[in-house]
Structure 1
């Protein structure tokens, strides 16, 4: 049962975290608006589309920077407790440091469960809305402003077939510079190309514009050229979408099924999907680790006061995010284990948390 002390600290824990979100999210929105306002005006983006975009942006932004917001909020209110000598009074009353930490762990549990469920079901939807808006409206001279997120999609469909598109528009369900190559015993037997390919939901077919099919023969190649042709392929629409785009927009159950399917295909991009999958679990766990570090750092009254604690806190928080991003990219771009890469930051900072906690108890 929660005591008055537990309720007091837990209330400060959750309220400060919420205040930190409400303080930084508008700043993020203002910065984003300042960067994109010209493109919105040029492309005459509907006001409702902008409102929906910033709803998705808020969730996407908060989820991405969740560790920093949580860490700084704990540093902030715990430092205030220390400067007001409230922590000294609590410990002097006979309460152990471990018992003092209990409401912090309760708060971390509440936030972890919330972030976990958000990552399973809400964040994928917001990620899709966030990316759809960028790919649909943020263009300059007909080209995507943010190249690299949705361009040059390579996909190995099976042992024999390879697919490529230069870019993909998720709203119109259209891809450009399409190519589908088929091999037999390491020799190409056919190749289909098109300037555009559009998915038709009614009959699950694809319309290929400037269609060309080249069939390689022993005595000569057979070439078929048509201005437009409807074809039914075995691959799915998601095979045309960018690797990261797919992973970020799938709910947990669909992501698991998708990873299984990609494993059977022998996809070379499997590490990218695994990084997204493992992060759904590692980020909530980081709430406990960052909570311990924040309390250990800020529970002592320092000469520099709250400013010194915030300086240390910001350095540790950005160090955590730095390692998380670096090893995530390393796993996506190399053969480095995605499991190790995703959990590396939690492991290293977990050791740091134990060390700081032992010193704080002393």
Structure 2
């Protein structure tokens, strides 16, 4: 790499990370101002608060990653253009494609970081962030799933009318077993509670009905403990469960859900595909930002930033809309996850071709 490559690459990375260091504390200050009263009321330990804001930093940075990257590139590239540095570089005989090399290298570094964060660190941060909010900040809005009906094996189906993730308790539980498309037994309970110590479930007001050819057998008990072949995550909201899993855990879980014929499969797939689409977006947004800001405009840097903000928020809007569309309908999760990148990839190609001229 030449001196010019190191010069641009250094500014690319430094500006991006400085942008993060500028906006993340602002997000933390706003969050503290909104929640400090609830934290004091809940008497949250300082250690728990520190861990929460560590998770908040990762969660918040990932959420606004496209905007931070886009604005940082536009910012320093516009300064290069206004100082006529880009004109000097291209006038020295360096082609526009060659000028893009340090940008692509910078996008590769950021992409690898985003990939590792999405695979390993973000799930843990997401779980800590959401658990803290549920436990200490939004106790009146407890995270729960309702009307969960799921196949857990070739012959078994479970149902709960609601499941509280915080205390891992479900209500109106049913477990039905079929053989040759005929119901053979049904377990019912007013509530089901998961015991983390030994990974068992305690059923209250337990009833089991076994259907026989000559008559039914009924077994009842005030309380009974079982070890079932499903996990509490099977009863939690689809998106939350998916966001808290590492790549390997999520892949295995999706395979299991696919075999069960889960109705929430699309929600899990959207989370999985976004682990790839977000890193790829680093390249697309880099090319768009360079194309928009590499030439002087009459409005100066302000005009470039205005265009950049509009494009960045449009990208985030596309990403959210198609993600929700895939989760709530039969629209392909793969297509929905990649549409923003494909659309903005075409835009990047068009803007890059004009910039070369």
Superposed pair shares fold, TM > 0.5: yes
Question: How far apart, CA to CA, are the structure 2 residues paired with 1:78 and 1:234?
Answer: 56
1:54 alignment counterpart: 53
Counterparts in 2 of 1:118-197, with a 5 A limit?
Answer: 118-140=117-139, 143-144=140-141, 147=143, 150-152=144-146, 154=148, 155-159=150-154, 160-164=156-160, 166-170=162-166, 172=167, 174-182=168-176, 184=178, 185=181, 189-197=185-193
| Gap change, CA 1:132 and 1:188, over 3 Å in 2 | farther
Deviations 1:295-340 (A, max 9, x none): 0000110111111000000000000010011001111111111110
**Superposed displacement of residue 43, structure 1:** 1.9
For the pair 1:353 / 2:348, whether they are aligned, the reply is: yes
Deviations 1:17-37 (A, max 9, x none): 001101110111122223322
1:324 alignment counterpart: 319
Using the TM superposition, name which of 213-222 and 333-342 deviates more: 213-222
| Gap change, CA 1:226 and 1:50, over 3 Å in 2 | farther
**Aligned partner of residue 51 in structure 1, secondary structure:** helix
Residue of 236, 240, 243 corresponding to 1:241: 236
Per the normalisation by structure 2, the TM-score is 0.92
Question: How far apart, CA to CA, are the structure 2 residues paired with 1:91 and 1:259?
Answer: 50
Question: How far apart, CA to CA, are the structure 2 residues paired with 1:134 and 1:165?
Answer: 24
2:245 alignment counterpart: 250
Is 1:136–1:169's contact at 8 Å kept on the other side of the alignment? no
**Aligned partner of residue 229 in structure 1, secondary structure:** strand
1:20 alignment counterpart: 19
**Superposed displacement of residue 225, structure 1:** 5.0
**Superposed displacement of residue 109, structure 1:** 0.4
For the pair 1:279 / 2:278, whether they are aligned, the reply is: no
2:206 alignment counterpart: 212
Deviations 1:66-108 (A, max 9, x none): 1110000001000111111111111111111111110000000
| Gap change, CA 1:23 and 1:165, over 3 Å in 2 | farther
4+ residue runs over 6 A deviation: 218-222
For the pair 1:265 / 2:255, whether they are aligned, the reply is: no
**Superposed displacement of residue 239, structure 1:** 1.7
**Superposed displacement of residue 48, structure 1:** 1.1
1:75 alignment counterpart: 74
Gaps of 5+ in 2: none
**Superposed displacement of residue 345, structure 1:** 0.3
Per the normalisation by structure 1, the TM-score is 0.91
1:94 alignment counterpart: 93
Question: How far apart, CA to CA, are the structure 1 residues paired with 2:205 and 2:226?
Answer: 10
Deviations 1:189-225 (A, max 9, x none): 52422335132423x31123x3332527589876655
| Gap change, CA 1:18 and 1:153, over 3 Å in 2 | farther
| Gap change, CA 1:35 and 1:153, over 3 Å in 2 | farther
How many residues matched?
352
Is 1:194–1:211's contact at 8 Å kept on the other side of the alignment? yes
Is 1:157–1:163's contact at 8 Å kept on the other side of the alignment? no
**Superposed displacement of residue 186, structure 1:** 6.8
